[in-house]
Structure formats: structure tokens, C-alpha cells
Amino acid sequence: MSTESNANSPQSLIVELEEFPRKWGWLLALGVVMVLAGCVGLYFVTAVTLATVLLYGGMLFSGGILSLFYSIRVKESKWHAKLFNILLALLYVVASIIIFMNPVAASAALTLVLAALFFVIGVLRVIHGFRCRTKGWRWVLPVLLGVVNWLFAIIIILSWPISGLWVIGLFVSIELIMNGWMLTFTALVVRKLAIRAEEG
């Protein structure tokens, strides 16, 4: 039997599940760190926004360089397919350079994209809600969520371009706090289960 099949065998999964309760402390520590990082991010929301935009630019640059090397080395049957891949990779690299040169303008542009995304999601949720009117009161929730998405989009657009300095950082910080609390509660539940298992 191969090593891969051994790693995915039921016995190995049981061992991993048995080891998991013993490592709840690391899970708890990670959750607390994420919550603290999110709280600090809410205070330095502009710095978090710019850092996130620069990180996004770095990901674009890395992806563009890797795609460029791959496009040059790969053997395409048609030259226009290879040319398209090379141009797309160069577009990634150019976009990342623009982000590095002016992260403030890049954050403003990405904030507009985020506002448009909120608006579109709101439209889809409202349409879905009205289509579910025959299912009773359940149609109200998607409609309300859609309206909330529209409010977010309106607030972002009305406060633009200033919103470009805080919107991305705000959502990143809130995401860190939510995930941190989720990991924290998960660690506490695992610890309680581990204690019950030892007592039993």
C-alpha cells in the first residue's frame, strides 16, 4: 500500500482526531492573536488598508512573473494563445507596479470595485427574496440583507475617495476579529471535550 493511501487511511484520521484536543492551546493562542490584531487594525484602519493593497499588489506581481515564465516556456500549438498568456502576465505585472507606485489611488479604485460588488450582491439577494415570497416570511431576510448591501454601497460611494482609506482596512479587521473569536470558541469547546474524555 502506498504512503498516500496510508496517510488517508481511517487509522491515520483517528490518530489526528486524537491529537487535536491536545493542541487546543495553539488554537486558542491563534484566536486571541487574531482578535487582538483585528482590534489594533480598527484603530490603524488606514495603515491596514494600505498594507492590504500592497499585499494584493505583491500577489499580482508574483502571479504575473510566474505566469510570464510559464507562458514563455510552455509549448503552444498556436502562437496567438501564447501571446495572449504573455500579455495577460504582463498586465498583472504592470498592475502591480501601479499599485506599488500609488497605493492610495489603488485603494480608492479597489474600494469602488467593492462598492459595485455590494450593489450587485444586494440586487441578487432582493431578486431572490421576492422569488421566495410563496415560502412565507423567509423571503424577508434576503431582501433585508440586500438592502443592507445597498446601504454599504451608498455609504462607500458617497464618502469616496475618502472611503478608499478605511473601507478595506475595516473589513479586513472585522474579518480578523470574527475568525479570531471563532477559533477561540472552537478551542474552548475542544478543551471541554478533552476534559470530559479524560474524566470519562
Tell me how far apart the alpha carbons of residues 174 and 180 are, in angstroms, rounded to a whole number.
10
Q: What is the mean pLDDT of residues 100-107?
A: 86
Ramachandran class of 178: left when φ > 0, alpha when ψ lies in -120 to 50, beta otherwise: alpha
Question: What pLDDT band is residue 12 in, cutting at 50, 70 and 90?
Answer: very low
Domain boundaries, the chain: 29-199
Query: What residues have CB less than 8 Å from 37, skipping those under 6 apart?
Result: 173, 176, 180
Question: Does residue 188 have a pLDDT over 50?
Answer: yes
Question: What's the whole-model pTM score?
Answer: 0.63
Integer Cα distance of 172 and 140 in angstroms = 28
How large is the average pLDDT for residues 111-134?
A: 81
Residue 197 is predicted with a pLDDT of: 63
Distance of CA 76 to the CA centre of its chain: 34
Of the two residues 56 and 82, the one the predictor is more confident about is 56
Residue whose grid cell is 446601504: 151
What is the pLDDT confidence band of residue 195, given thresholds at 50, 70 and 90?
Answer: low
Report pLDDT digits (tens) over 13-59: 334 445 555 567 777 788 888 888 888 888 888 888 888 888 888 88
